[in-house]
Structure 1
């Protein structure tokens, strides 16, 4: 099992709009790809960064599912994010493996 984590640091001015868009549009679109079996959205409370920090996490059962998501679906979904919140956020993406 793999955890795909997307950490986003948002400008305060767009944080509420982004959160609503994530919950109503983006996360449902990501999950509709069928590449992930679950997800969660977290707010970082002790971030050293300015702005508001969130982590969107998606669980993939196999590396193949994750790779297919990255190749087939991620470019368009990430472009939608960039189009809607252009230059109002910074994103860091990491892939982790469950070990325990």
Structure 2
């Protein structure tokens, strides 16, 4: 399995609006059928640039599902956030491959 991790720093001026939007955006990403689940987390570091940082972790069953998302859905879904928040957010994306899960 793979995790598609999107980390976004949000300017304080749009913080509340962003949280409302992202909670609607995540189900739109899941509706593509490329991911099985998602988790929204706050990154607990104080950024020099200010703002608040969040990460959204989407779980994909395969690399093929992730590649299909990039090709079929990502441009449209990324554009939505960029149009809405433009220079008030800064993000980056990483891919993680799950090697093994452990439970207590």
Give the TM-score, by structure 1 length.
Answer: 0.95
Unaligned 5+ runs, structure 2? none
Question: How many aligned positions are there?
Answer: 99
Deviation for aligned residue 1:28: 1.1
Which position in structure 2 is the counterpart of 1:17? 17
Query: Structure 1: which 5+ residue stretches go unaligned?
Result: none
Q: Which runs of 4+ in 1 moved over 4 A?
A: none
State the partner residue of 2:5.
5
Bigger Cα Rg = 2
Residue equivalent to 1:28:
27
The CA deviation string for residues 12-55 of structure 1, in whole angstroms up to 9 with x for no partner, is 1111111111112x111100000000000001122434111000
What does residue 96 of structure 1 align with? 96
